[in-house]
Structure 1
């Protein structure tokens, strides 16, 4: 008896379907983008929370605040914080401030192994989300790298596309059911806070960290990738080329040499502050691009909390404002989303 392939495939499909009626075999979609077949239905069942915002707006703090109220795990989406090393320079959340919440893709990859591209992030973060969902926990994606967030969430993602400069359209069809929380701080307040944060990072040992990095990691023949692009590394390049392995210690030594070192140090610090403020502005513009194209970003204004921090209000007052104006509205939004 002749048995056509079409009948055979139909028989197999029906056979497997009868064995597992909950998960019927679905035909793979024929649509492709960038040479990759796209499967949609399984991913759409996962719910995730995405915390966005410019650098320094309190995203890491809010992610932990939420994760202590909902059974959650946090996935980093900052392109410098995925690399191992330079914890102060890249402003990774300290272990003690993680409050026991599990963090993923935070300091897990070696910068020397090459650039961690948005496509690589998409692959790794997708796998992590699947694992977290399997543990019946809520994935919270948090970070300021909008290119990573877009790569992860866009249903049709082309690694070569340029959506943030307007060259290519923004994909509005998402791979997951997303609750977007956009932490915003008015730019004048944020810029002032970012400059203060740089001073705090320097007081915490940032220069010593960079000195060690330049001494052991920097190879002038290697391409400028990975951690070498982190704000702080290129800005201090001239300083450490002139004074290898030395921090800004003006005690002893030649007076003229100390004057040169002081000038180079101040130039580096000023450049770090300027470039950090420029980064915050660019990140905000990218977020506005996504919102303008239909991404449902729910804005939370944290300006009052940051203003209180800048005028050195008591910590209790700062925390109270943060709780009332940021945390409580966020909790309500996430509760509605999950229900």
Structure 2
């Protein structure tokens, strides 16, 4: 795919200096382009298409694609589809380590400097928005905080929507959560008792710095995390977006394609009973979802009298053959449930990503230029993709480097009101009785939850049940 529509690459563009002559040249901030958006929107595709017109080098800002392994599950761009465009931080980190926001910042900054020194254009691409915040926000660029575990800053304050109802070790979770409550009850109120990853991050922060997480979040972090006025870089933010029904259909199709392309072999190879799914590559959506299936599958294979080794029943790359070869109906049901969970959790991820991008714009005033890929994705039309996504994005980047226009006017959200909103509501916990005592953190999450269709349905059923109970009670009194 050449991403044409504006003609071939122009020699005079490629010989110019996108970074303004290298880091800090002429006292100006280095310029970088950042492509954001929910999963499935086409961020990587856009970056490669821009390289047909500009001297692009891509720096991945995806918290799972940075790891080696699970290439199909994490949807890494295959080498033959990168079209010769250099990609950095793609499959370079050991799958067993925790690659924090700080680690990303420390890796990305020198890469960007190198790209600029080559007179090329750094394009940061990814859906992990806290990586992008770590790169552009002043707070994490303060080296005096390097001794701290910046993993606790892996989300926008108040925007914590992990799938924390998953509980793999209830006893261990309870112990660490109780410890956090003893140390910092305010911080403990902010997170779900089963969110082991966040609990450990808060405990590590306290152990290494002696600072209470709640005090840190309500202090300098809150004022600077997400602010880009004094950022190291001059940023052009482009968000590739699409409507939810189209993204949902695309996610369904993409997961099916992943299964056909060998996803089952990947999760089979990485499967390890009772492994820690809160660190490294095993955090990826699509790993835990298949654990129940793999546990029963391996047990069945080991007990099979017709099998001499596990290799005879090794998961096949084609899902149709896999389903046909499974020895029991139970396994077929478990496999289909795992695939459905994978799809569901990916759709949830899409919604979290969209919410976080909106908050970066409304709370912190990021100048984000949106390009709508809805028609291009739904119609699978190359022409629509070029006209509605590539061309507008290319014009934004050209204008950004020529300093002719502002990419997008600031959203009217005064700093003081945004900060006061977070300070007032960040640590408030809500419990929804109608939804099974679900815990919500912050007024914004509570309001979003109340507007959800599932909550409204449960509330309506609860009201009807209460009304029927009252009628029955009155009739019994008579």
**TM-score, L = length of structure 2:** 0.57
Is residue 2:294 matched to residue 1:237?
no
Residues 155/243 of structure 1: CA separation in 2 closer, same or farther (3 Å cut): same
Alignment RMSD: 2.0
Residue 124 of structure 1 and its aligned partner are, at CA, apart by 0.3
Is residue 2:138 matched to residue 1:155?
yes
Instruction: Tell me, in whole angstroms, the C-alpha distance in 2 between the residues paired with 1:187 and 1:252.
Output: 36
Instruction: Tell me, in whole angstroms, the C-alpha distance in 1 between the residues paired with 2:281 and 2:254.
Output: 20
Residue 172 of structure 1 and its aligned partner are, at CA, apart by 3.2
Instruction: Tell me, in whole angstroms, the C-alpha distance in 1 between the residues paired with 2:238 and 2:66.
Output: 21
Partner of 2:349: 279
Partner of 1:185: 242
8 Å contact kept, 1:44–1:175: no
Is residue 2:397 matched to residue 1:334?
yes
**TM-score, L = length of structure 1:** 0.79
8 Å contact kept, 2:277–2:283: no
- Given candidates 377, 381, 405, the residue that maps to 1:306 is 377
8 Å contact kept, 1:122–1:148: yes
8 Å contact kept, 2:277–2:288: no
Residues 211/43 of structure 1: CA separation in 2 closer, same or farther (3 Å cut): farther
Residue 55 of structure 1 and its aligned partner are, at CA, apart by 0.5
- Given candidates 93, 105, 109, the residue that maps to 2:93 is 109
Partner of 1:289: 359
- Given candidates 309, 328, 331, the residue that maps to 1:261 is 331
Is residue 2:88 matched to residue 1:88?
no
8 Å contact kept, 1:77–1:145: yes
Q: Which has the higher helix share?
A: 2
Residue 68 of structure 1 and its aligned partner are, at CA, apart by 2.3
8 Å contact kept, 1:77–1:149: yes
8 Å contact kept, 1:68–1:101: no
8 Å contact kept, 2:64–2:74: yes
Deviations 1:71-130 (A, max 9, x none): 121000000000000100000011111000100000001012x10000000000001001
Residue 136 of structure 1 and its aligned partner are, at CA, apart by 0.8
Deviations 1:271-292 (A, max 9, x none): 0000000000000111001111
Instruction: Tell me, in whole angstroms, the C-alpha distance in 2 between the residues paired with 1:252 and 1:61.
Output: 36
Partner of 1:13: none
Residue 163 of structure 1 and its aligned partner are, at CA, apart by 2.6
Partner of 1:319: 382
Greater relative contact order, per chain length (Cα 8 Å cut-off, separation 6+): 1
